Amino acid sequence: MTQPLFAFDTSYARLPERFYSPAPPAPAPDPAFLALNRPLAEQMGIDPERLASEEGRDALTGRAAPEGAALIAMAYAGAQFGHFVPQLGDGRAVLLGEVVGPDGARRDIQVKGAGRTPYSRMGDGKAPLGPALREYLVSEAMHALGVPTTRALAVLRTGEVVLRDAPLPGAVIVRVATAHIRVGTFQYFASRGDREGLEILLNHAAERAWPETLEADNPAAAFLRAVSLAQAKLVAKWLSLGFIHGVMNTDNMSVTGETIDYGPCAFMDAYAAGRVYSSIDRHGRYAYGNQPKIAHWNLLQLAEALLPLMGETEEEAVAAAQEALDVFPGAFSDAWRGALQAKLGLTETREGDDALAEDFLAALEAGEADFTLAFRGLGALRAEGGPETDGPVRELFRKPGAFDAWAVRWRARLAEEARSDGERRAAMDQVNPAIIPRNHLVEEALRAAQDGDMAPFDALHAALAAPFADRPAGDRYAQPPAKEEEVRATFCGT
Q: Residue 266: which of 494, 35, 476, 488 has the closest Cα?
A: 488
Direct distance between the N- and C-terminal alpha carbons of the chain, in angstroms, rounded to an integer? 42
Coarse DSSP helix, strand, coil percentages of the chain, rounded to the nearest 5 percent: 45, 15, 40
Q: Classify 317 as helix, strand or coil.
A: helix
Q: DSSP for 93-152, please give it.
A: EEEEEEEE-TTS-EEEEEEESB---TT-TTS--BEEHHHHHHHHHHHHHHHHTT--B-EE
DSSP letter (8 states) at residue 326: T
430 phi and psi angles, rounded to 5 deg:
-85, -10
Catalytic residue flag (residue 251): yes
Contacts 24+ apart (CB under 8 A), 261-264: 262/134, 262/135, 262/138, 262/139, 263/131, 263/490, 263/491, 263/492, 263/493, 263/494, 264/489, 264/490, 264/491, 264/492
User: Given 251, 261, 269, 281, which residue is catalytic?
Assistant: 251
How far from 357 is each of 20, 338, 342, CA to CA, in Å?
A: 47, 11, 11
> Can you tell me the distance from the alpha carbon of 361 to that of 390, in angstroms, rounded to the nearest whole number?
18
How far from 359 is each of 31, 239, 388, 419, 475, CA to CA, in Å?
A: 52, 16, 22, 23, 29
Spatial contact of 382 and 389, defined as CB atoms under 8 Å apart: yes
H helices within 349-428, ranges in order?
353-367, 371-380, 391-394, 401-414, 421-428
- Which residues are known to be catalytic? 251
